[in-house]
Structure 1
């Protein structure tokens, strides 16, 4: 683990002294101007459709943002840097990729043939430009705040947010393009169709996932200083190649006509193209989370103070599923307020673990005890509710039934979406 940047005014001052920070700000400003010009043209031509597209895809971004931000529960990333990552994807990467992808497609047509460009242009040009542009966003985060990237999981989070920003803005552009192509004026039906295809169906394993995969490579390059530089560069290159190859497969004309007719056939194509990168990034996230959790739980275990964290809480804190189980157990035994307090206690314990790790790493920032006090405060509130310990309870059939019910509803919604698009 690397030494963190000191918070508050010290962090702001450190950013101001970093030339890379001002370069990133300049690029974000240029990207904002460019995308604002495009948005102005959209609003002038199709005001209702543009507002609808921004609203739909903006709402889609919220659950993705919340999910990604929860990946690194034990050491949450600063909201400001997360916003920079998202803005890089939505402003810089998109404004670069739109003209560059077109230029590369034209080059493919000249070097190869117009038919090659028509079939494979989007599969070769788009990923080649976009994955590099998005990965540079994670590099930018490293350059302006190196000490905030101290695990592979950090790289995953920042990469996913860059991809999310890119995905949302690109989807809005595609939605308005669909409106213009339909030639029926300022209508929202093409926007809804684009939302179902590019947002709802493809959102799980498109740019957010590709960005996370490349971001994991940058995280590995920065963090694993015990490995040789050549090894780390190769691994980062393989991660970027994996993101590029996954994107190529997703954009490729393979199975463009589907695997037959019906919703099941269309779903099979989505799974075939999207499942490999999804499984890979889930594996990387799980491995990185477990390694980070073991480190921080060991920091808390060294306290040997059950008022700060008990043996059962140590076990629960190290696993996302067990943290969630502890909250459900609190709600079942002491009500909704206990669930809220358990989450707050877990969050306070995570902040304390980070503080302890910084102290053990020789940080010049001296612990001020506020995190110890915060844990004790949350513990006292939990005790007052009659639920003194944030541990998981006995497995409940109600949770299993709820999981099965939620899965059934998700499948039903997916089936309706596929059928609405002509899949059934």
Structure 2
């Protein structure tokens, strides 16, 4: 983890002075013009189908964006950079890939045969042109906002959003083209079939997944300065090549089980293994980052800031959610909100502590806290719930660290006033098993439903 004590406004100002920023801006603007022309032409020919495609895939992107952005709970990325990553994938990478893919298809047809180009062209063009175009977007994010990329998980987040932007725009193009190929005029059935096939079924292990793998490697190159340059470059190159390899297998006829409902067999054989691999990779990266930030809070040695159980809970997404549910059961909505606010304050404090040098420390007594209402309920929170022992705060943590320390203490007092002293929940031995079984059951039901829908639409 790298240290960046520079104020955020100063880092943003420096980004505006970088040539890479203006290059990225011009490329995104050019891609927006190109996409706008495509949408205008599509609306002229197939207004209902085009509108349906934009709405479906626009809504489809929302839960993915929320999930990807929430991967890094402890240090949320700036929304502008997240939007930039999405825009690069949807506007720049797609513009590069349209011409690049056509060039590769033509080259294979001339050097080999049209039949080979038809069968293997996508497997050759997609991994090379598209993955390189997306990787350039992740590198551009690093160049423009180096201070914001301070963990491998950051690379995963930005890579996933680049891939998601590419996937959404590509699927809109495929949906409109499916309407043209069907030759039945302005019909929405081909759009819905494309949405179910390319969005719902293939979306779990498509470009978002490839981008996450490439982003992890590029993030490693950027932040693991404790390793020599050769190792870092090798990891980055292998990650991008790994994304290319998964993309190649996905696009190729290898391991394919044939048409019709054989698509479900293809998804299981060609999709689930890389999905599990990358999910395990992301899980390991998240745990490493969580351990780092929890160490910042643990080093304070103050149970008012975070107890041992709270550190364990704060490091895991499902445990954080479980603690909020437990608080809701004990203290209602106010309890749930109080735990959520405490968790967010603890996370922000950990981030601010990590941005200090970690050297000199000074004793700062907790600031007196006047009574205040909780959520307008009239329940008073006073100093009686806040111990008066001093707390050690890094000097170079600055005012933000002190402010978030005080915020943690204030939220702790709110929880005490509600009769809920700790943001944790009783451990459940069967909790993980129930989540896995429930997730698999939902997945299988969804796959079955989509299969029936495709049969009804005549897409099988």
Query: How high is the TM-score relative to the length of structure 2?
Result: 0.86
Moved more, 229-238 or 200-209: 229-238
**How far does residue 377 in structure 1 lie from its aligned partner after superposition?**
2.7
Q: For residues 267 and 341 of structure 1, do their structure 2 counterparts lie closer, same or farther at Cα, with a shift above 3 Å needed?
A: farther
Distance, in Å, in 2 between the alignment partners of 1:414 and 1:383 is 46
Say whether 1:360 aligns with 2:396. no
Which residue of 1 is the match for residue 412 of structure 2?
Answer: 379
Which residue of 2 is the match for residue 317 of structure 1?
Answer: 314
- The equivalences for 1:254-265 within 5 A come to 254-258=254-258, 262=261, 265=262
Which residue of 2 is the match for residue 267 of structure 1?
Answer: 264
Alignment length (residue pairs): 421
Distance, in Å, in 1 between the alignment partners of 2:65 and 2:442 is 22
Distance, in Å, in 2 between the alignment partners of 1:341 and 1:414 is 38
**How far does residue 192 in structure 1 lie from its aligned partner after superposition?**
0.3
Q: State the Cα deviation string for residues 181-218 of structure 1 (Å, max 9, x = none).
A: 11111111101000000000011100000000000110
Which residue of 2 is the match for residue 60 of structure 1?
Answer: 60
Q: For residues 268 and 89 of structure 1, do their structure 2 counterparts lie closer, same or farther at Cα, with a shift above 3 Å needed?
A: same
Look up the SS of the partner of 2:342 in the other structure: helix
Moved more, 107-116 or 313-322: 313-322
Q: Is the 8 A contact 1:5 1:11 kept in 2?
A: no
CA RMSD of aligned residues (A): 2.2
Moved more, 340-349 or 81-90: 340-349
Which residue of 1 is the match for residue 129 of structure 2?
Answer: 129
Say whether 1:391 aligns with 2:404. no
Moved more, 89-98 or 267-276: 267-276
Distance, in Å, in 1 between the alignment partners of 2:90 and 2:239 is 22
Which residue of 2 is the match for residue 177 of structure 1?
Answer: 177
**How far does residue 2 in structure 1 lie from its aligned partner after superposition?**
1.8
Q: Out of 338, 341, 346, which is 2:343 matched to?
A: 346
Q: Out of 437, 440, 447, which is 1:414 matched to?
A: 447
**How far does residue 408 in structure 1 lie from its aligned partner after superposition?**
3.1
**How far does residue 70 in structure 1 lie from its aligned partner after superposition?**
1.3
Q: Is the 8 A contact 1:122 1:251 kept in 2?
A: yes
Look up the SS of the partner of 1:11 in the other structure: helix
**How far does residue 255 in structure 1 lie from its aligned partner after superposition?**
4.4
Larger Rg: 2
Q: Is the 8 A contact 2:42 2:50 kept in 1?
A: yes
Which residue of 2 is the match for residue 222 of structure 1?
Answer: 222
- The equivalences for 1:68-87 within 5 A come to 68-87=68-87
Q: State the Cα deviation string for residues 148-200 of structure 1 (Å, max 9, x = none).
A: 11111111110000000000000000000001111111111101000000000
Unaligned runs of 5+ in 2: 360-394
Distance, in Å, in 2 between the alignment partners of 1:280 and 1:398 is 22
Distance, in Å, in 2 between the alignment partners of 1:12 and 1:148 is 10
Distance, in Å, in 2 between the alignment partners of 1:7 and 1:268 is 51
Query: How high is the TM-score relative to the length of structure 1?
Result: 0.93
Q: Is the 8 A contact 1:5 1:148 kept in 2?
A: no
Q: For residues 24 and 239 of structure 1, do their structure 2 counterparts lie closer, same or farther at Cα, with a shift above 3 Å needed?
A: same
Distance, in Å, in 1 between the alignment partners of 2:436 and 2:222 is 38
Distance, in Å, in 2 between the alignment partners of 1:176 and 1:266 is 21
Distance, in Å, in 2 between the alignment partners of 1:405 and 1:216 is 29
Look up the SS of the partner of 2:28 in the other structure: helix
Q: State the Cα deviation string for residues 275-315 of structure 1 (Å, max 9, x = none).
A: 22212211211111111111111110111222221121112
Q: Which runs of 4+ in 1 moved over 6 A?
A: 362-365, 396-403
**How far does residue 404 in structure 1 lie from its aligned partner after superposition?**
4.9
- The equivalences for 1:25-174 within 5 A come to 25-174=25-174
Q: Is the 8 A contact 1:359 1:367 kept in 2?
A: no
Look up the SS of the partner of 1:421 in the other structure: helix
**How far does residue 249 in structure 1 lie from its aligned partner after superposition?**
0.8
**How far does residue 126 in structure 1 lie from its aligned partner after superposition?**
1.7
**How far does residue 8 in structure 1 lie from its aligned partner after superposition?**
4.7
Distance, in Å, in 1 between the alignment partners of 2:143 and 2:41 is 34
Look up the SS of the partner of 1:303 in the other structure: coil
Q: For residues 7 and 20 of structure 1, do their structure 2 counterparts lie closer, same or farther at Cα, with a shift above 3 Å needed?
A: same
Distance, in Å, in 1 between the alignment partners of 2:305 and 2:17 is 38
Which residue of 1 is the match for residue 382 of structure 2?
Answer: none
Distance, in Å, in 2 between the alignment partners of 1:398 and 1:224 is 35
Distance, in Å, in 1 between the alignment partners of 2:51 and 2:7 is 38
Distance, in Å, in 1 between the alignment partners of 2:187 and 2:63 is 26
Q: For residues 354 and 92 of structure 1, do their structure 2 counterparts lie closer, same or farther at Cα, with a shift above 3 Å needed?
A: same
Q: Is the 8 A contact 1:342 1:382 kept in 2?
A: yes
